[in-house]
Amino acid sequence: MSELLTTARALLDAFDGVATHPGLLAQVPDAAAKLSDGIRDACRPVDTADGLFVLRGLPVDDATIGPTPGHWSTAGNAGALHDVVLLLLSTAMGTPLAWEGQQDGRFVHNIVPSPGHEEEQTGASSSVLLSPHTEDAFHPGRAHLLVLGCLRNPDRVATTAASIRQVQLDADDVELLRRPVLPILPDDAYAEAQGYDGTPPQVPTLWQSPEGPTLRFDPAYTPLDEASGEHRAAYGRLEAELARVSVAVALTPGDVLVVDNDLVVHGRVPFRARYDGTDRWLKRSSVRVPGRRTRPPAERSEHGYGQAAVEAYR
């Protein structure tokens, strides 16, 4: 992992320590291509039914990164070295993804608890269970992989994860949930999308891709009361199965969790935020994997609620 830090630091130094500098972003692909085989092998595809893995051993200097920001918008360049590390890892796995309507279009997000957001179903919450969900499930351009790098987690707050390839559902439930019956609405991190003037597309919850079963799931933003009782019951059984197979991953500083966003729903257990600069602090990046065939073709016609997903290096 020292190679990653050395490479990231050299890129950061070349651009006055600004992780979001366009010139730095332009140089990341070449730098990632020069990483050793050991690191590139560690960035392998998620190739198990669990749909996730954890990279460990990245040094994090608690004093150097500074206090946990109180909100993503005040983070500025805090933890910039680890922004670049996540960009390098993400580029070794595929193509980093940003959203024009989220966190100012940054390719690496700061996930921190924020005052006034304690009970939301977003990464800024704390006091409620963050329900298991597909990241950016409302959008057809959502990431294939979700990458979470831990800078601080003194209370060992757990990220939860559950894979569709571990659940047991009967054939009738699978058939019901493969039908496009309900929309998935934009979450509270996308205020502009929530005001989009267009008919929400109905989408399937499950799909059998050439690579195996996949899912698109976000119960907090799915209007289940619009479905039949039969469909709601099947959806409830899927929720129960995902809860049954769920695992808890308590990341420690220097851990990087890689989640297959087509197989795995993730969430977070509740915790009490202190807002004193010592709270849990994660860095998050989203990755598309070129050539992957895990999405139903019908998704290509969705409007995405007017949100634009931006791929790095284009």
Domain ranges for the chain? 49-60+94-311
The one-character DSSP state at 157 is P
CATH of span 49-60+94-311? 3.60.130.10
Provide the sign of the torsion angle of the four alpha carbons 134, 139, 140, 146, taken in this order.
Answer: negative
Provide the CB-side half-sphere exposure for 179 (13 A, CA).
13
Q: What is the pLDDT of residue 100?
A: 87
Q: Residues 184-224: pLDDT tens digits?
A: 999 988 988 999 999 999 999 999 999 899 999 999 999 99
Q: What is the pLDDT of residue 2?
A: 84
Does residue 172 register a pLDDT over 90? yes
In whole angstroms, give the CA distance from residue 56 to residue 95: 22
In whole angstroms, give the CA distance from residue 204 to residue 173: 12
pTM equals: 0.96
Ordered alpha helix ranges (H), 119-228: 171-177, 191-194
In whole angstroms, give the CA distance from residue 181 to residue 231: 9
The one-character DSSP state at 313 is T
- CB-based contact 188:313 (threshold 8 Å): no
Nearest to 313 by CA among 90, 12, 29: 29
Q: What is the arithmetic mean of pLDDT over 131-160?
A: 97
In whole angstroms, give the CA distance from residue 8 to residue 249: 26
Q: What is the arithmetic mean of pLDDT over 237-266?
A: 97
Q: What are phi and psi of 127, to 5 degrees?
A: -80, -10
